Chain A
Amino acid sequence: MGVNDFDLGLAAAALERALAHGGEFAEVYVEERDGLTLRLEDRRLEQTSGGRDFGAAVRLLDGERTFYAYSDEVDEAGLTAAADAVAAALRGGHGVGATVVQLGSAQSRPGAHPVVVPPETVDVRRKADLLRAADDEARAAGGEIAQVIAAYADARQRVLIANSLGEVVRDDRTRTRVSVQCVARRGEVIQTGHETLGGSCGFELLGQAAVLGVAREAAGKALVMLDSKPAPVGLMPVVLANGFGGTLFHEACGHGLEADAVAKDASVYAGRLGETIAAPIVDAYDDGAVVNGWGSAAYDDEGVPTQKTQVIEGGRLTGYLYDRLRARQAGAQPTGNGRRQSFRHVPIPRMTTTYIAPGDATPEAIVAATPRGFYAKSLAGGQVEPASGNFVFGVAEGYLIEDGRITTPLRGATLVGNGIDILMKIDMIASDYEVKSGICGKDGQGVPVGTGQATLRIAEMTVGGTG
C-alpha cells in the first residue's frame, strides 16, 4: 500500500467529515517515505538502517485556529477517526463552514527536480563502498586524522495533498546526501571538521570525485585548526566566506521573515515592508524552486508551487515567507513556504534555499581591503531570537586577517550580533556564490534547507573568544 494506490474518495469523505461542525479550510495530507541511512565510524560501517513510514493527517483551519490529527492507519477507519477528531475539536466554529469543492484531477510537476539514478535502484553495497572510500581519502589527508565519521542518506517521499478548495497535488521527492566529519588530534589538542553534499536528486549527485572532495574538505578543516590559536575578543571587521557563511543570513534574518513570527509581532522585521533593513548593496532571496536544490521541491507541503521570492531589494525589505494560514491572515499570496517534517507535523512557514545575491568584488579584494579582522571560513551553526534579532554563531574554521592577508587559524570563536545591525554593516560582497545543505530546526521540526552566499564583509561585529 502506498500513496499511488490511495483512493481519493477517502480524502473527499474525510474533508466532508472534517468540516461537519464548520471551519474554513480542510486538507488531507498522505505521505509515504522510504529511507536508508548508512554510517561509518572508526573504520567500520556500523549502522545500516532504513525504514518506511506511511501515514495521513487531516487539518482544519478556522479563523486563526488550526486543528490537526494524524495516524499511521491510512484506511477508511484511520482517516475517519482523524477527521472526526478535528471536527470535534472545533465544535462551535465561526459562522458557516466551508463546503468541499469536488476534487479535481491531481496536479504534479514531474521533472521539476530530475532524478537520473533513483537511489533505490543502486545496490546498498555501492553506497557503503562510497563511505569507505571517503574514510580512506580523509585519513590520507594527514596522519593526525584520528577519526572519521561518514554518513550517507537517501529518501524517497511521495505525498498527496487534497483540500476543500478541490485542489489535489501529488509530489514525488528524492533526496540524497553525504556528510563527513573528521577529528584531528595532536597531543592534547583535538579539532573537528565537517562537510556535506546534498540535493533533491538521485545517486548521480554522489560521484566518486565529489564524495572524495567532501572528505578532503572535512579533513582539511580539522587539520588546519590543529595549528589554531585562541580567538581574540572584541569588535572587528568580519569577512564571511562563501557557502557556509550563508547560515548567518538564514539565522539572523531569514527566521524573522517567516510569516508566523511576523504575524505575532515577534520579529524585528514585522511591519517594516519597504523600509531599509540592510545596506544598499544587499539583495536577498528565498527560492524553493532551485533545480535539484537540497531545500527544493516542486510543491510545498500544502500543495502550493514553490517559487523564488525576493525578500530584500537594494537594502529594502520586500517580502515575507508565507504558508497558507499566514498568507490568508495577511491578505497576501502564499509563497510556497508551508513546509512540514512529516505527516506528524503541522505545516508552518519555513525557508527553502535562502541567500544573499552575489556582488562583483573578488574575495581576495575583500580580504586585501581589511587591515585587521576576522575571517570566518565555516560556521558551526547558530541560534537567533527572532523577536530581538540577537544571534550567536559558533565558528568552525576561522582565521585572523592581518595587513590584508589571511594568517593564523583561530579556534573557539563565536560571532555575536543583531540581525538588522549586521545587515546594515555589510559593505562588500564578492561574486563567488555557493550553496550549502543543512537541516533547519524550528518548533521541533527538521526540514532540509539550503543556505547560500558569496564572500562578504561586515564592517564591525563582536567576536567572542578566549584569547
Chain B
Amino acid sequence: MFELLDTALERAGALGGADVEVYGERSTSRRVKVYGGEVEQLTAARRTGLGVRVVRAGAAGYAYTSELSPEGVDIVVRRAFEHAAVSDRDEFVALPEPGGAPADVDPYDARVEGVSDDARVELALAVEAAARAADPRVKTVEDTIYADGEGEVFLASTTGVRGSYRASQCYGFAYVLAEEKGQVETGISFTVGRALPDLDAEACGAEAAARACRLLGARKCPSMKATVVLDPFVAASVIGVLSSALTADAVQKGRSLFAGREGQTVAAPSFSLTDDGRHPDGLDSAPFDGEGTPSRRTPLVAAGVLQGFLYDTYTARKAGRASTGNGLRGSYQALPGVHPTNLLVEGTATPVDEIVAGIERGVLVTDAVGVHSGANPVSGEFSVGISGVLIESGRLTTPVREVTLAGDLLGMLRGVVATGDDARWVPGGSILTPSLVIEGMAIGGT
C-alpha cells in the first residue's frame, strides 16, 4: 500500500506547489446475523480506498477513491487539487509536521485471523440462546449479531509524516423483545473486544433479556422533580452528546456551551471526564490519529473543573497550541475532523445498591430515546423520552415508560451527586462510564 501512497505523492509533486497527504485503508470484515436458531445473514467484505488531502496556498481540498489503478490514482490526485482551488484560504490550514513517536498501544489482536465462519455463527447463536433461556417472557430476539473486522491504515505526507498500523475489533449484540399481557418492551446489550475469544455471549444475551423484562408492566408516572440514576448505557449516550461540545472545533465556531469556561467549575466535584486515545482496552485506541499525530491522554473535566478541549492540527494552530491527537477519520472517504477517542468517566464509585437505598424518590433510567435529536449540544437544552424503574423510599419499585426527562446539560453536570461502581465500556463511541446520579431533574409524565 505504501507504494501506492508514494505513487500518489509523486503525481502530486508533478502538479507542484502544495503540501499533500495520502491516507490508505485496507480491511476485511465479516458479519453474521442469526434469528430463531438459524443463520439469517452472513456478509463478507473487502474494502480498500485512498484519500488525498492537498493544502495549497492555505486552502484545503480533499478527494477519495476506491479505484486503486494508476488511472484511479491520477484522477483522485487531480480532483484534490481542483477542490483546493475552490476552498477559501485560511492561515491556520496546514498539514502537520511529524509529531514524535507513535503512542505505545497495539489495537490489533492476531487471534482475529484464526476465526472461522462456523465459530462466528456459533457465537451469535450462543448470544441468542442465552437471551431466550433467560426469561420465559422473552418473545423474540429480533436482532442477534456477531461482527468482526481487521484492517490496516497507512499515512504518508510531503511534510514527513509516515506510518501505518493494524487494528482489529469484534462485537456481539442482542436486541430482545419481551412480552407480558400484550405489552412489549425491548432491551439491548453488547459484548465487545479485539477478537472473538474476548466476548461473553452468555452475559450479552442474558443482559439484553433482563433489560427488556424489567420494563414489563411499565406505565407513565406523575410529573415530578426527582433524582435520576442514568445507567451506563444511558450515561454513555449523554456523554456522547456532551463530548461534541468539548471539541475545539465547536468552541472556535461558537457552537459549544463550554466556550470560554476553561478553568471554571462546569460540573459537580464528583465528576471527571478524560479522552484517552491509548487506553489498552479502548476500542478506539490507535498509535496515532488520522493526521499522524501520536495519541495521548487529555483531561477534559477534572473534579468538576473544565481542563480544556480536544484539538486536531487546524484547531490547534488556530489556538496557538499542540494537537491532542484527535484529528480522526471515519474512513478514507472523510477528511480528518475533531472527535473524541475513548472517553473515560470517573467519580465516586459508590456501590449502586447504596445509591438506590439513599434515594427517597427518583427513577433508574435504563433506556433513553431521542438523545441525539432531543439534546442540543449548542444550547445545552436536553429533553428525551425515557424508560426505567421508579425508586421509592430507597427501593426499586414499578417500571415506567413514555415519560420525558428534561433539563440543561450544564445543570445536569452540576447535579451529579455521585457515580456508581459499575463502570463499563459502551460501544458506539467507546465510552467507559459508570451510572450517573443526578439531582433535580424534570420528569414529564401524567
Q: Known contacts being A1-B67, A51-B76, A86-B44, is A381 close to B87, with CB within 8 Å?
A: no
Binds B, one of A11-19, A208-216, A281-289, A386-394: A386-394
CB distance from A75 to the nearest CB of B (A): 10
Contact assessment for A38 and B86 in the assembled complex, using a CB-CB cutoff below 8 Å = yes
Beta-carbon nearest neighbor of A268 in chain B: B184
In the assembled complex, B354 has its CB within 8 A of some CB on chain A = no
Contact assessment for A41 and B369 in the assembled complex, using a CB-CB cutoff below 8 Å = no
In the assembled complex, B395 has its CB within 8 A of some CB on chain A = no
Contact assessment for A48 and B142 in the assembled complex, using a CB-CB cutoff below 8 Å = no
Contact assessment for A381 and B373 in the assembled complex, using a CB-CB cutoff below 8 Å = yes
Contact assessment for B378 and A190 in the assembled complex, using a CB-CB cutoff below 8 Å = yes
B interface majority secondary structure: strand
Residues of B within 8 A of A274 (CB): none
CB distance from A258 to the nearest CB of B (A): 13
In the assembled complex, A362 has its CB within 8 A of some CB on chain B = no
Contact assessment for B47 and A344 in the assembled complex, using a CB-CB cutoff below 8 Å = yes
In the assembled complex, B434 has its CB within 8 A of some CB on chain A = no
CB distance from B159 to the nearest CB of A (A): 20
Instruction: Report the separation of the CA atoms of residues A128 and B89 in the bound assembly, to the nearest whole angstrom.
Output: 13
Residues of B within 8 A of A89 (CB): 42, 44, 117
Residues of A within 8 A of B66 (CB): 52-55, 72
In the assembled complex, B394 has its CB within 8 A of some CB on chain A = no
Q: How many residues of B contact A (CB 8 A)?
A: 80
Contact assessment for B402 and A462 in the assembled complex, using a CB-CB cutoff below 8 Å = yes
Instruction: Report the separation of the CA atoms of residues A41 and B378 in the bound assembly, to the nearest whole angstrom.
Output: 15
Residues of B within 8 A of A73 (CB): 46
The one of A190, A385, A394 in contact with B383, judged by C-beta atoms closer than 8 angstroms, is A394
The one of A51, A55, A81, A392 in contact with B369, judged by C-beta atoms closer than 8 angstroms, is A392
Instruction: Report the separation of the CA atoms of residues A46 and B45 in the bound assembly, to the nearest whole angstrom.
Output: 33
Contact assessment for B61 and A48 in the assembled complex, using a CB-CB cutoff below 8 Å = yes
Q: How many residues of A contact B (CB 8 A)?
A: 77
Contact assessment for B402 and A417 in the assembled complex, using a CB-CB cutoff below 8 Å = yes
Contact assessment for A66 and B383 in the assembled complex, using a CB-CB cutoff below 8 Å = no
Instruction: Report the separation of the CA atoms of residues A65 and B48 in the bound assembly, to the nearest whole angstrom.
Output: 27
Instruction: Report the separation of the CA atoms of residues A89 and B32 in the bound assembly, to the nearest whole angstrom.
Output: 11
CB distance from B83 to the nearest CB of A (A): 4
Residues of A within 8 A of B384 (CB): 392, 414
Instruction: Report the separation of the CA atoms of residues A385 and B253 in the bound assembly, to the nearest whole angstrom.
Output: 35
The one of A85, A124, A393, A466 in contact with B86, judged by C-beta atoms closer than 8 angstroms, is A124
Binds A, one of B33-41, B129-137, B203-211: B33-41
User: A438-463 vs B: 1/0 string, CB under 8 Å?
Assistant: 00000000000000000000000011
In the assembled complex, B158 has its CB within 8 A of some CB on chain A = no
User: A44-59 vs B: 1/0 string, CB under 8 Å?
Assistant: 1111111111110000
Instruction: Report the separation of the CA atoms of residues A45 and B75 in the bound assembly, to the nearest whole angstrom.
Output: 23
The one of B46, B79, B372, B406 in contact with A464, judged by C-beta atoms closer than 8 angstroms, is B406
Contact assessment for A416 and B403 in the assembled complex, using a CB-CB cutoff below 8 Å = yes
CB distance from A421 to the nearest CB of B (A): 10
In the assembled complex, A359 has its CB within 8 A of some CB on chain B = no
Contact assessment for A52 and B65 in the assembled complex, using a CB-CB cutoff below 8 Å = yes
Contact assessment for B140 and A266 in the assembled complex, using a CB-CB cutoff below 8 Å = yes
In the assembled complex, A322 has its CB within 8 A of some CB on chain B = no
The one of B41, B253, B442 in contact with A65, judged by C-beta atoms closer than 8 angstroms, is B41
Instruction: Report the separation of the CA atoms of residues A390 and B65 in the bound assembly, to the nearest whole angstrom.
Output: 41
Instruction: Report the separation of the CA atoms of residues A320 and B43 in the bound assembly, to the nearest whole angstrom.
Output: 26
Contact assessment for B442 and A466 in the assembled complex, using a CB-CB cutoff below 8 Å = yes
In the assembled complex, A180 has its CB within 8 A of some CB on chain B = no
Q: Known contacts being A394-B370, A412-B406, is A465 close to B60, with CB within 8 Å?
A: no
Beta-carbon nearest neighbor of B259 in chain A: A190
Residues of A within 8 A of B44 (CB): 68-70, 82, 85-86, 89
The one of A51, A85, A191 in contact with B65, judged by C-beta atoms closer than 8 angstroms, is A51
In the assembled complex, A304 has its CB within 8 A of some CB on chain B = no
Instruction: Report the separation of the CA atoms of residues A191 and B384 in the bound assembly, to the nearest whole angstrom.
Output: 18
Residues of A within 8 A of B374 (CB): 380, 392-394, 414
Instruction: Report the separation of the CA atoms of residues A137 and B49 in the bound assembly, to the nearest whole angstrom.
Output: 38
Q: Known contacts being A48-B83, A264-B142, A390-B369, is A71 close to B61, with CB within 8 Å?
A: no
CB distance from B116 to the nearest CB of A (A): 11
Residues in B391-429 with C-beta less than 8 Å from chain A: 401-408
The one of B49, B184, B379 in contact with A192, judged by C-beta atoms closer than 8 angstroms, is B379
Residues of B within 8 A of A69 (CB): 43-45
CB distance from B90 to the nearest CB of A (A): 6
Instruction: Report the separation of the CA atoms of residues A340 and B51 in the bound assembly, to the nearest whole angstrom.
Output: 24
In the assembled complex, B350 has its CB within 8 A of some CB on chain A = no
Instruction: Report the separation of the CA atoms of residues A52 and B49 in the bound assembly, to the nearest whole angstrom.
Output: 10
CB distance from A450 to the nearest CB of B (A): 18
The one of A64, A68, A191, A393 in contact with B379, judged by C-beta atoms closer than 8 angstroms, is A191
Residues in B373-391 with C-beta less than 8 Å from chain A: 373-374, 376, 378-385
Beta-carbon nearest neighbor of A388 in chain B: B184
The one of A46, A64, A416 in contact with B38, judged by C-beta atoms closer than 8 angstroms, is A64
User: 14 A-B pairs, CB-CB below 8 angstroms?
Assistant: A45-B88, A49-B63, A53-B66, A65-B41, A72-B47, A147-B253, A183-B254, A388-B186, A394-B376, A416-B444, A462-B444, A465-B442, A465-B444, A466-B407
**Interchain residue pairs A-B with the least CB separation, the first 9:** A464-B404, A392-B385, A381-B373, A51-B64, A464-B444, A392-B370, A48-B83, A233-B444, A49-B62
